Amino acid sequence: MTIKTPNTLSMQQKDLLLDATSTIAPHWPLDKLIAVNPLWSLVNKPFDQVSDELSALAGIKTHLPIASYRTWFEEGRISQDSLSRAAHHYEIDMTPHALLEHLTQPSVAPTPWRNIADLADQQRPANKMSWHDEITHQVSQFCAAHYQQQSPTLRQQNIDNELDLYSHWLEVTNEDKGLSIIMGEAKLTHFFHDLPSSKDELFALALEELSLDDQALHFYAQALLLDINGWSSYLAYLNWSKGDNNENLAKENHVESLLAIKMAWELVIWRYLKHTSLALHDAIEAKWSAQKSAIPTLIQAHHDALLASKVWALALEYSEQSALEQTLTSAKPPSIEPTTPELQAIFCIDVRSEVFRRALEKQSNKIQTLGFAGFFGLPIEYKAKDSHYARPQLPGLLAASITATELTSDKHHVNHQQKEARWHRWGHAAPASFSMVESMGWWYAFKMFKQTLFSKRQEHPANRLAPSTGWQLTQQGVALTDQDKADLAKAILDNLNLTTYAPIVMLVGHGSHTSNNLHAAGLECGACGGQSGEVNVRVLASLLNDSKVRTLLNNMGVNIPTDTQFVAALHNTTTDQLTCFDTNGSKDINSTLANWFEQAQFLAQQERAAKLDSSLLNTSDQQRSKAFTKRANDWSQVNPEWGLANNHSFIIAPRQQTRHLDLQGRSFLHDYDQHNDPDFSILERILTAPMLVTHWINMQYNLSVTDNFKFGCGNKVLHNAVGGNIGVFEGNGGDLRIGLSMQSLSDGEKWMHTPVRLAVYIAAPKAAIAQIAAKHDIVSQLIDNGWLYLFQWEGDNIQRFFQLQWQAAE
């Protein structure tokens, strides 16, 4: 066989390839799992356009089947008026009866784009392994081995050899004699030997032999990456995070390397079929040529097929917004005489907090709750004392600048933590489920039996902090001075914007309580980097109770009463228990407060029981509370809580405007008072940080529902951990699975999350909102391209801001 010297890759072609790699959004690993919009890298385009293109590229679904919407219409969740409005938006004007009939006509999207492997599979005998399936399996297993975290020796060996993903794959594949046997294709492996070792040479060769012009190149490259979207997303995270500060990993564009592997497989199939079956190759080449020339037509065909689904989806969003807006404007807040509250409790904006906040406020008018981003503005990472263990405690969009470490540590706990981490890595490796039980024998079987009958909490070892410890804060290895701490505290208090201070100001982080849950971090605080918020609230309470810091704050114009104490607390979102931490001289929690918290817990549990287990509604408060704890401890429980399912709105307003309302645990609540923000700098920070995080959460839930195959992770009962913390396989192979499991979205009969785009309601002047949107491209893109809805809420009047115009919300 003659080896052809490839042409040089032009700068324009290189840019097109890099642009294709940039269309993949990052997905965080298991130990710091946070919600992310899987289409984040495409928000510069209109949502509807992205829906059309992804449907054409990879058959991706951004809407539910029409039958689901029709059911909601018959149940009254979608109104006829909303359906007519949505149809008008898409320039469809019919009578209600004709419209309903038109929108329920079956419309099947045409076959999406087919890669070379897919075209070859159309002609492949049924008794032979699918090209597509073997490529996915081989590439996925190789990526797991290349990036695995439980084998430092192998990982270091790859780094020492300075092999990028593509080069390492080519080296290993050239030694793999089994591919020819598995595929039933003699001498297949010979064709891998002829591939160039350079990624750019491989790209140039493939572009030439597959006759890819600029339009087809970008489309094709994106399709190849979407075909193995799970690994593409994890490698996009490595690019995003610069390899977790690993210099060697940071040097590589990991997604580009994965693209090179996928394109190398395509080239091998193309050449192999040309060599072994010219007639088959010619048939595939004819389909390939026709497909490349018809890309615009393909996208248009998908656009036409998706129109009815888009109308139904928009009608559902209009109906949901109409119901919420009626709630926001129908009932006036009760007039309450302004008094200094006995308790101020500042919660994360998480939708799960809304249920507990409402329950707590019912205990007394002397309780004031507020909503703030759950990391409380602390730009920290937590590093356990006397340990190498470190983790971020802030949103994934931000980088930590300060390290928080306990002043004292429990040496026994540190040693136990490190041993448990090693055990955890072994026990959760993909092949370990059988080998662990076999190796440990009856002892391990007894442990599982004991945990089933006498369940107890299984806590992440890093959350067992030394009791009553102080904190050391350092920046680049240098301890913060008292003035540094005061400056940090003032910045946080300025954003909290408290005008009065109660005798007790409670800083409430949140965490979850689950056992045997590989996606446990996804139920923790997303604003804390997929961790419990415990570290943040304990560090901040320690900071604000420091007498030296308080003195400096007073000199800086921040007057905190001397009798005010800041108390760190943690809201367990699975059981609705609230735990207070008595550190650095904080006041003991008196019986009145303890009773308030317990009664709030009972109320919140009763509300959540309706969705979790309706049989608990008819039990006593104490029995129900025990049942919640038992569910949390149960290692076989697949949905101990619903997380942020059914979120649909983000309200930026003073709490007194919503305190009297039942928002059903569906709204993110961020306190904001425009009268205390003269330059609207606080509002700007909310719209450029918390709003983005809430959008990420909303879109992850939405797309995990509409296309769980691409953007969800299937059945969690079948999950196996990959490479320690990288992610999960569903079973023992296939692509890396990302997003949410079906058990986090459905109770087996109905969806627990309604896929509607986030609606943001802001109590602020129109001019300020418009100015901030115009200043930040990402904000204007989210609004104008239809990735979320943005409204101004002023009394009974709600208006939508869209493409620089204000329009009345109907």
CA dihedral 687, 689, 695, 698 (to 10 degrees): -130
Question: Are the CB atoms for 350 and 644 separated by under 8 Å?
Answer: yes
What is the per-residue pLDDT across 724-780, written as a single tens digit (0 to 9) for each?
889 999 998 899 999 999 999 999 999 999 999 999 999 999 999 999 999 999 999
Sorting pLDDT into bands at 50, 70 and 90, what band is 665? very high
Question: Are the CB atoms for 597 and 607 separated by under 8 Å?
Answer: no
- Residue 247: how many CB atoms within 10 A of its CB? 9
Sorting pLDDT into bands at 50, 70 and 90, what band is 340? confident
- Say what the pLDDT of residue 810 is: 63
CA–CA dist 337, 11 (Å, integer):
68
The DSSP 8-state label assigned to residue 776 in this structure reads -
What the block records as the tokens of 264 is 């190398």
The mean pLDDT of 56-77, rounded to a whole number, is: 96
- Say what the pLDDT of residue 249 is: 66
Sorting pLDDT into bands at 50, 70 and 90, what band is 445? very low
CA–CA dist 643, 188 (Å, integer):
48
What is the per-residue pLDDT across 173-210, written as a single tens digit (0 to 9) for each?
999 988 999 999 988 999 999 999 999 999 999 999 99
DSSP secondary structure string for all residues of 384-396: -TTSS-EEE-S-T
The candidate with the shortest Cα–Cα distance to 292, out of 224, 222, 225, 210, is 210
- Say what the pLDDT of residue 427 is: 40
- Say what the pLDDT of residue 227 is: 97
- Say what the pLDDT of residue 416 is: 52
Q: Which residue has the higher pLDDT, 765 or 460?
A: 765
The mean pLDDT of 644-651, rounded to a whole number, is: 98
Phi and psi at residue 392, in whole multiples of 5°? -75, 150
- Residue 30: how many CB atoms within 10 A of its CB? 21
Q: Tokens 């119901």: give the residue.
A: 323
The candidate with the shortest Cα–Cα distance to 241, out of 795, 726, 729, 784, is 726
- Say what the pLDDT of residue 168 is: 95
The candidate with the shortest Cα–Cα distance to 366, out of 326, 324, 336, 327, is 336
Sorting pLDDT into bands at 50, 70 and 90, what band is 808? confident
- Say what the pLDDT of residue 732 is: 87
**Over 80: is that where the pLDDT of 446 sits?**
no
CA–CA dist 203, 287 (Å, integer):
22
Sorting pLDDT into bands at 50, 70 and 90, what band is 398? confident
Sequence-distant (≥ 6) Cβ neighbours of residue 339 within 8 angstroms: 366
Helices (H), 331-441: 351-361, 411-427, 432-440
What is the per-residue pLDDT across 223-281, written as a single tens digit (0 to 9) for each?
999 999 999 999 999 999 875 656 566 679 999 999 999 999 999 999 999 999 999 99
- Quote the mean pLDDT of the chain: 89
Sorting pLDDT into bands at 50, 70 and 90, what band is 151? very low
**Over 80: is that where the pLDDT of 365 sits?**
yes
- Say what the pLDDT of residue 158 is: 52
Sequence-distant (≥ 6) Cβ neighbours of residue 538 within 8 angstroms: 465, 471, 568, 581, 583
**Over 50: is that where the pLDDT of 807 sits?**
yes
Side-chain-side CA neighbours of 181 within 13 Å: the count stands at: 3
**Over 90: is that where the pLDDT of 2 sits?**
no
Specify the pairing of strand 797-802 against strand 805-808.
antiparallel
Q: pLDDT exceeding 70 applies to what percent of the chain?
A: 88
What is the per-residue pLDDT across 598-643, written as a single tens digit (0 to 9) for each?
999 999 999 999 999 999 999 999 999 999 999 999 988 988 999 9
**Over 50: is that where the pLDDT of 661 sits?**
yes
- Residue 774: how many CB atoms within 10 A of its CB? 11
**Over 50: is that where the pLDDT of 424 sits?**
no
Q: Alpha carbon 234 to chain centroid distance?
A: 12
- Say what the pLDDT of residue 715 is: 95
The mean pLDDT of 484-495, rounded to a whole number, is: 95
Q: Which residue has the higher pLDDT, 277 or 386?
A: 277
DSSP secondary structure string for all residues of 701-761: HHHHHHTHHHHB---GGGEEEETTTTEEEESS-SSPB-SB-GGGTB-SSSBSS-----EEE
